[in-house]
Structure 1
Amino acid sequence: MGLAIDLGVVLDALSVLAWTALPDGRVDFVNRHWRAYTGLDLAASSDSQWQNAVSADDRPGLLQQHAALLESQKPAEISARLRRFDGQLRWFVIHINPLHDADGQLVRWCATCTDVDDLQRAQAAAKQGELDLQSIVDSIPVPVTVTSPCGEVEGQNRLARDYFGKSYEELRSWRSDDVVHPDDLPATIAAHAASHANGTPYNVENRHRRADGVYRWFNVRGFPLRDRDGGIVRWFLLSIDIEDRKRAEITLAESERHLNETINALPALVWSARVDGTGEFYNQYYLDYLGRSLDEVRDYEWTKAVHPDDLPGLITAWNQIMESRMPGAAEARMRRHDGLYRWFLFRTSPLRDQHGNVVKWYGINIDIDDRKRAEEELRRSEAFLAEGQALARMGNFSWHADSGEIAWSEQLYHIFEFEPGSTVTLERIVARYHPEDVALATQVIEQLYRGDTDVESQYRLLMPDRSIKHLHLLAHRAADRPGRREYVGTVLDISQRRRSEEALDNARAELAHVSRVMSLGALTASIAHEVNQPLAGIVTNASTCLRMLAAVPPNLEGARETARRTIRDGNRAADVIARLRALFSRRSATIEAIDLGHTAREIIALMQHDLDRARVIVRTEFADGLPLVGGDRVQVQQVIMNLLRNAADAMNGVEDRPRRLWVRTEAEADGMVRLTVRDSGVGFDPRDVERLFDAFYTTKDDGMGIGLAVSRSIIESQSGRLWAATVGDGPGALFGFSIPVYRR
């Protein structure tokens, strides 16, 4: 709109009738001299209504020349009579010039109408000999020069003499820089020579030097004056000052050039369309994107670049915008020159005339493909996040400690069973806490108000249906907001994990019990042997005692010694039975003080028969003065038994060296006592060291793979640790465990 106002001001300043038209010839502006002369305003002159100001006799020829002008897109002049507001007809020369942008595209027509009626009348009168030549020349209201048939100046009217400030003698040979601008002189001489040679009128634009040395643009029109025989007797040179028009054209062309350069430099697809919606202009960025020329996208050819799935919706939106005559927008994909489709936002606004009528549409297509992809990725991420939170039973939150503002995710509403979107307050949250955990909630809130960096807590919720949920809270203070106590965090529903842990503990207890039973099944023969030995001793000693008492005289001292041996074997059998009953027991772990060396000796004694049968040589290194450890005696015995059995099994195939087994106890520096079992068997691959403790992983052909897994769970349940290692100085493997010193 700023460009249109500047042009109007310039054209209104001209002393001639002037108007502008669109590339198709429709008038879109008339200056004040046109309105004053014709009595027709823009509304009465727009489009093709200006023809009403043309004489009916001259109109057909003018329209024919006008059509040829539009087709050629070249400058032209047309002579016709224009009707004044009072009905009088006067002759005008209409100069029509095309204006092009930097790319050579026609953007507008600019025309001036010069009143030559007096000149026409003067020429007619001169031919008829009715008026004196000088009187005729002086009556013309523009500078006029009269030359001889060969081009020498013979006379001028007053306006010409005042402008040049030179005498006839000085102007007689006008072919100099003092009259015509040096840049325009060659073309002026050539046009003048051609016109004189052909005897035809000529029309040339050049700059004339005024008396003060200033050059101004003129449109010089030459008309020959002929005698009755057709011979040229004089030339009349009519000089029409077009300086203002030229400046306006230059200003307009420069403005158009800058505008087009700006539009073409914009990193967006800029276009304009006619009132009916057909495409008219596309900037270079638009053409480069499509890889097409202007002619290939004009009218509705641009629709061929729109994605077929988006075209119907875009056409519908475009028609609705044109019908509403208001700005609008739509989205669609457009094919790039390499065949790739990208999303664009189509925005358009109407250009209106002074009466509010839409005369053109301007639009811009903004590439939003990256934004669309980001939105799609965001939607997918949000969907994945929501799905992940639902699967993980996890919700997010943020809390502004100063304002009390709380924001919750959808999953957190679900966990607390609050109405989605309802306002969440600390009071509502605490009201959901289990009564026994309210004090914990108060403590966590105090930590947050103090501004602690990280807060972690586990608590329970008592739901309206009296069910209990276990939650795990993790909160972190936002570091990017200094001076503000704002927290972001997550809440995990660990109820299912808690139930799983309880089930796992139960399963471990069952598995440990099964392992003990299986271990005892394997040791049944050894236990029977241990029990049979004292029982056989009891029977033998009892028989001996009876024989000694039956002797004459009775051997009382020998009978007493035999009775003592019977009591010893009976106690030994009782110890075996007691250990067997303890191993079969399913009681829960009872932490008590245990002498780890003594416990190891008991298990070695219990397994001695099996170890002897396997040809295993046991070596013990039990440290003296070790503190008692805290653990479940029966479960610790089970672990030691499992390690000894595994060591014996690892040496079953060893024939080239003694089958030695070392059992050792020692103190550790961190309040722990260690027991290790080392064998000289086949060992294991160091890469499988952690897999040895996986449930159902075994290196034995007849193994179940649960012994070490159960043993580790037993030791870890008693705050200890169990490990395995290869032996660096010989064959075999080492297994050991550490448990803490007993504290009441």
Structure 2
Amino acid sequence: MDNELSRRVDALPGLVWTAFPDGRIEFVNRRWCEYTGLSVEEASDDGWQTAFHPDDRAALLETWRVAVASNAPGEAQARMRRVDGVYRWFLCRVNPVTDGAGKVVTWCGINTDIEERKQAEDTARANEQRLQLVVDGFPTQVLIFSPAGEVLHANRCFFDYFGVTLSELKQWQTNGLTHPDDREAVIARFRESMSNGKPYDGESRHRRADGVCRWFRVQGVPLRDKEGRIALWYFLQRDIDDRVQTEAHLGKSAALMAKVEQLSLRGSFSWRPTTGSITWSEQLYRMFGIEPGAQITMDTIAAGVHPDDLHLLHEMIERAQDGKDVEFDHRLLLPNGSVKYVHIQAHATRDVLGQLDYVGAVQDVTERRRSEDALACLRAELIHVCRVNSMGELTASIAHEISQPLTGMTINAGTSLRLLSAEPPKVEGALEAVRRTIRDGRRASEVMKRLRARFNNHAVKTDAVDLSEAAREVTELLRDEIREKRIVLQLKAADDLPPVAGDRVQLQQVVVNLLLNAVQAMNEVDDRPRQMLITIEREDGDCVRLAVTDSGVGFDPQYACRLFDAFYTTTRDGMGIGLSVSRRIIENHGGRLWATPNERFGATFSFVVPSLGDHPANAGPVDRI
């Protein structure tokens, strides 16, 4: 190469070299020599090969041989050793120089340093491999699309679950991987996301490897480069078939429950006292005459409660703050002026954080109340007829003593019929009502036996009676009537009370008479809460005292001495027999019965009877009454 051309080649910004037509190296420029540390003479012929990495020489020589043999351009990548011994990647390219006849007269080549590019490619490749490992490790299906919507890759979980190859997956729009009923909507939604670049989110059915179609939630997000252009789309598929089936089942159950609530005139609710959040069923909205979906608060509920029953609601709220189960009755005053009677029961539960929640039911008992009121009217008429046509104290006593057990039997029998008529029948509740019916029948029978004994001079044996337990049984017997009258009843019994000596049925009849007397005294009370308190405690000496306190109309102290006379009554529906009979029973038990007016409202009726150890009946039977 002449000196002028050599100088020009040396000035080129690259490692330039030339070769003879047969491939032997003819010349290397100064930059080539400076980089490799080899002279032109050392690089001549095959000496240049020592400047390349031993692992790359074979491929490089093969590329060079093919180029020379075909008289065509060629290129290859190989590592060249720098003068300091460091290898760097170079792109080696060569082109033939031909004469007018097309014969190769020389070869011109240039080696370009591509080390940074190779490192970047290796780094990108390593990152891609790591990403692929991560994606393959996902326990759910992952799809990767190009910006144009072409499937590029899917993870191992996807291929294993759907049993398809990548080529089959590329035909997902037509090969049945998507359920026929969902395909059109899925494709439209997919194309819309590809077009506007917005994330994809939808639920659709897709065919599993075994041919079963299951519901999936499919979400797709675009991956953008620094300029904001979409580089890839990542789609995630999560199997939600179990959730969809559960929701469908719950939907059917909710619809069935709503129908059952409507037919049974019941509504359900949940309430969290700490936050005040309340959830109602649709039937409950209908029951209260409120537009379905309206926000429910305690003020909303209070606005629908009859003004005379608001105290019952407030007492329920106060009781609920202590985490106790609640059960009470009250009236609703609807916007159209009509009145409904409802029965409410709520059970207290706590979540994992200890937050108090109530789950309960409200039953419309208006029709039942009307039936019971009609029954009460019939009962009142019967009592009136009995009083008018009584032939003395015996007839009146019998009517009074057995009316309550018979009423209890009627109510319990009706309750049994209603529970057994439910769908499905509520057998346990019906059995309990039947047991109460049997109990009331036995009580009526016992009353008749004792009345017969009383008038036939038969003695009654003395028993050890737990007065607290006996009183609780009576409150259970009268529970429905007391609740219907919107009366709040409390029973407070002292601990370790001794048993009393006497006849259990007769003592319970006294408690029945005192409670009914209190109920009748509060019938006309509408300006204050109707409250009744039963107190059982020790009295001075070896006696036990039971007191019934009410918030009724009370009595005039000047007529106190007549309260226990036969046929004397201060109430419209009273017969005037109960207190007279009760005093005689208590006196024959060695005790005393009296009445005192309360300081503000109502009256307190009390009796004391000797405990078992102090009663003279230990030596014999109780006198007849």
TM range (shorter): 0.5 to 0.7
CA positional deviation for 1:588: 7.6
Indicate the SS of the match to 1:138.
helix
Letter in 1 for 2:402: A
For residue 188 of structure 1, what is the amino acid of its counterpart? L
What fraction of aligned residue pairs are identical, expressed as a percent?
A: 31
Q: What is the CA–CA distance in structure 2 between the aligned matches of 1:382 and 1:670, rounded to whole Å?
A: 51
* Equivalent residue in structure 1 for 2:362, among 491, 506, 513: 491
Q: 1:355 to 1:668 in 2, by over 3 A?
A: same
Amino acid of the residue matched to residue 456 of structure 1? Answer: V
Alignment partner, residue 124 of structure 2: 252
Which residue of the partner structure matches residue 740 of structure 1? 505
Alignment partner of 1:345: what SS? strand
**Equivalent residue number for residue 182 of structure 1:** 54
Residues 607-658 of structure 1 show CA distances to partners (whole Å, capped at 9, x for unaligned) of xxxxxxxxxxxxxxxxxxxxxx975568559999xxxxxxxxxxxxxxxxxx
**Residue number among 447, 460, 471 corresponding to 2:330 in the alignment:** 460
Q: Aligned partners of 1:390, 1:404: CA distance in 2, in Å?
A: 26
Task: Show the 5 A alignment for 1:171-210.
Answer: 171-172=43-44, 179-192=51-64, 202-210=74-82
Contact 2:332 2:342 in 1 (8 A): no
- Distance in 2 (CA, whole Å) between partners of 1:273 and 1:234 is 46
Are residues 414 and 174 of structure 1, via their aligned partners in 2, closer, same or farther at CA, if it must alter by over 3 Å? same
Residues in 1 aligned to 2:236 and 2:35: alpha-carbon distance in whole angstroms: 51
Change (3 A) 1:271 1:371: farther
Q: Which residue of 2 aligns with 1:242?
A: 114
1:23-61 residue CA offsets vs partner (Å, 9 max, x unmatched): xxxxxxxxxxxxxxxxxxxxxxxxxxxxxxxxxxxxxxx
Show the counterpart of 1:340.
212
Q: How does 1:309-324 map to 2 (within 5 A)?
A: 309-321=181-193
SS of residue in 2 equivalent to 1:589: helix
- Pick closer, same or farther for the CA change 1:485–1:194 going to 2, 3 Å: closer
Q: CA RMSD in A?
A: 5.1
Residue 444 of structure 1 is matched in structure 2 by 316
Q: CA deviation at 1:191?
A: 4.1
Aligned counterparts of 2:221 and 2:450: Cα–Cα separation in 1: 89
Aligned-residue offset at 1:206 = 0.8
Alignment CA distance shift 1:591-1:242 (3 Å): closer
Task: Tell me the SS of whatever aligns to 2:17.
Answer: strand
From 6, 13, 17, the equivalent of 1:145 is 17
CA distance in 1, matches of 2:72, 2:308: 115
Counterpart position of 1:268: 141
Give the TM-score taking structure 2 as reference length.
0.54
Q: How does 1:270-419 map to 2 (within 5 A)?
A: 270-273=143-146, 275=148, 279=151, 281-299=153-171, 301-302=173-174, 304-321=176-193, 326-348=198-220, 363-401=235-273, 404-419=276-291
Residue aligning to 1:163: 35
In 2: Cα distance, 1:462 partner to 1:199 partner: 105
Summarize deviations over 1:65-102 as a string: whole Å, max 9, x none.
Answer: xxxxxxxxxxxxxxxxxxxxxxxxxxxxxxxxxxxxxx
The size of the alignment, in residue pairs, is: 421
Secondary structure in structure 1 of the residue aligned to 2:88: strand
- What is the DSSP-based 3-state SS (H/G/I as helix, E as strand, rest coil) of the residue aligned with 1:306? coil
Contact 1:395 1:409 in 2 (8 A): yes
Question: Take 2:196 and 2:451, find their aligned partners in 1: how far apart are those partners?
Answer: 89
Q: Please name the residue that 1:550 is paired with.
A: none
1:241 & 1:355 partners in 2: Cα distance?
Answer: 28
Does the residue aligned with 1:162 lie in a helix, a strand or coil? helix
- The residue type equivalent to 1:589 in the other structure is I
Tell me if 1:589 matches 2:428. Answer: no
Q: 2:6 aligns with which of 117, 134, 145?
A: 134
Deviations 1:165-185 (A, max 9, x none): 222454357569852112212
In 2, Cα distance between equivalents of 1:336 and 1:326: 28
Match of 1:212 among 84, 91, 101: 84
Q: Distance in 2 between matches of 1:149 and 1:489?
A: 100
Letter in 2 for 1:186: A
Q: Secondary structure at the match of 2:402?
A: coil
CA distance in 1, matches of 2:31, 2:229: 44
TM-score where L is the length of structure 1 = 0.46
What SS does the aligned partner of 2:217 have? Answer: strand
Deviation at residue 338 of structure 1 after TM alignment: 0.9
CA 1:353–1:135 in 2, change beyond 3 Å: closer, same or farther? same
- Indicate how the Cα distance of structure 1 residues 176 and 325 shifts in structure 2: closer, same or farther if over 3 A, else same: closer
Mind listing any 5+ residue stretches in structure 2 that lack a counterpart? 379-390, 406-441, 454-459, 468-475, 480-502, 511-581, 583-625
Give matches, 1:596-607, under 5 Å: none
Q: Offset of 1:377 from its aligned partner?
A: 3.4
1:420 lines up with 2:292 in the alignment = yes
Do the aligned residues in 1 keep the contact of 2:222 with 2:232 (CA within 8 Å)? yes
Judging changes above 3 Å, is the alpha-carbon distance between structure 1 residues 207 and 321 closer, same or farther for their aligned structure 2 residues? closer
- Structure 2 counterpart of 1:272, which letter? F
**In the aligned structure 1, how far is the partner of 2:187 from the partner of 2:70?**
58
Residue 311 of structure 1 aligns to a residue whose secondary structure is helix
Task: Report the counterpart of residue 485 of structure 2 in structure 1.
Answer: none
Letter in 1 for 2:362: V
Between structure 1 and structure 2, the one with the greater Rg is 1
Q: 1:469-548, aligned counterparts within 5 Å? A: 469-476=341-348, 478=350, 480=352, 482=354, 487-495=358-366
- Give the letter for the 1:216 counterpart: R
Q: Distance in 1 between matches of 2:283 and 2:24?
A: 101
Given that 1:280 and 1:299 are in contact with CA atoms closer than 8 Å, whether structure 2 keeps it comes out as: no
Q: 1:148 to 1:384 in 2, by over 3 A?
A: same
Specify the SS of the correspondent of 1:305.
coil
- Residues 134 and 409 (structure 1), Cα distance of their counterparts in 2 relative to 1, 3 Å cut: same
Counterpart CA distance in 2 for 1:301 and 1:591 is: 79
Find the aligned partners of 1:172 and 1:244 in 2 and give their Cα distance: 29
The residue type equivalent to 2:117 in the other structure is R
Taking structure 1 as reference, are residues 368 and 437 closer, same or farther at Cα in structure 2, changes over 3 Å only?
same
Deviations 1:547-571 (A, max 9, x none): xxxxxxxxxxxxxxxxxxxxxxxxx
Shift of 1:157: 0.8
SS at structure 1 position matched to 2:315 = helix
The one of the two structures with greater contact order (alpha-carbon pairs below 8 A, sep at least 6) is 2
| Cα distance between partner residues in 1 of 2:67 and 2:185 | 61
Structure 1 residue 250: deviation in Å? 2.4
Distance 1:422 1:227 in 2: 95
Secondary structure of 1:338's partner?
coil
Measured after TM superposition, the shift of residue 208 of structure 1 is: 0.4
Q: Deviations over 1:585-610 (max 9, x none)?
A: 99981689xxxxxxxxxxxxxxxxxx
